[in-house]
Structure 1
Amino acid sequence: MDLFQKKLGAVFDVELLGDKWHTGILVDAGQDILVLYNGERYIYIPSFHILNVSLNTKKSSTDFSALTEKPINSDKISYRKILMNSKGVFTEIFVSGYQPIHGYITHIMTNYFEFYSPVYKTMFIPLNHLKWLVPYSDYQTPYQLDKKFFPVNPSDLPLSRSFEEQLKKLEGKLVVFDLGRSPNKIGLLKEIENNVVHMITAEGRTFYTNIQHIKSVHSPTM
């Protein structure tokens, strides 16, 4: 997506899969990520979910408030570099449904990252399911909690290199997929075989889920 380097400063509409939209000034672009400023926040959008990008002919950069200092800086940006530079920064991420998640990126592995949320605690999120990321200023904390009352305590569960291997460590435990958007997303993770997850719900129903479609995982045991 380096071709967008020539369009920095222009206003774009970015359409994402799932009928999601962002409009803002294009302030940076890498091979696999775009950065928009919407007048209030910087939005980092990985290319995985970008469906269309079009110039907005009704707005100009003067329609947005003055640019503030970017919370994350990198000479030549990429999706992985942005994740690395976001570690320890209070961040909003959007993965699925209609509800963003707030917290901190704590570790980045081969194809997933560990995220600590004060609400959901430790979460595992595949890299290809992050739709966008919004880092906050250094002085901001989730829910305006005082930093001394908000320790970041990720799970002590050892991290595997791949998302699939990490889920194997949760076999026999209660898990929640995709923030529990439906009853078949919450249950006992019985086993994983050939990228198929075998789960048993509270009602005793059995579901088999393709691991490639799991967008986030957290567990009350972590």
Structure 2
Amino acid sequence: MAARRNTYGRRQGRPLRAGRKALLEEALPRLEITLPEEERPLRPQELFDPLPERLFLEIGFGGGEHLAWQAAHNPGTGFIGAEYFVTGVATLLGQLRERGAEAPLRIYLGDARDLMERLPDAVLDRVFILFPDPWPKKRHHKRRLIQRETLDLLARLLKDGGELRFATDDPGYLSWALQRLSDHPAFAWQVAGPADWRLRPDDWPPTRYEEKALKAGRRPAYLRLRRRPRKNTCYSS
């Protein structure tokens, strides 16, 4: 676990402004997920009361605008946002306050994989991995989030028919992700034509990072994958 956490660098950049710091101190304790000390699964019933009809997870939500939008537009759905950087968590809390989002939402401040390892099987309906760090240097590729180990975790956690959404503006990372996603037996790429992976569905709002990429002339790709029905298969690295 420690090796994973060390790949991120510092948890906070510039000091938070007083308003953001106060919001973090006020709101985060009510929403933050704390993993049980004992090695046991973390049941959704421990996070949400009442238990929502669906459960979505966003890994690395950055500024939180996508997660806040999803929370505001999906009644009856519970949300888990996992983010390593304190600044991103504070920004999400500001987004939620501005939008007045009422959907049940919990935040995990740390490496999402630590949380994922504690969740029970077939608990998630949708997972978002949007514009993760591409780690472009070859010696850093082992730090990329899309690895066989992570896909095995996602295959275990997603319900049959559940959806994985992935976006990147880095061509090298796109090739890397497509190869590993295509090779994994649990996932089926939902693409009907050449333009599909260049278009966002209506329920996939843009993020500030995406807008920054477009202004810089980088063309994002948007992948949607379905979790294939289980056939008593154990996925392991």
**Which of the pair is proportionally richer in strand?**
1
TM-score with structure 1 setting the length: 0.28
> Which of 1 and 2 has higher RCO (CA within 8 Å, sep 6+)?
2
Which structure has the bigger radius of gyration?
A: 1
**Which of the pair is proportionally richer in helix?**
2
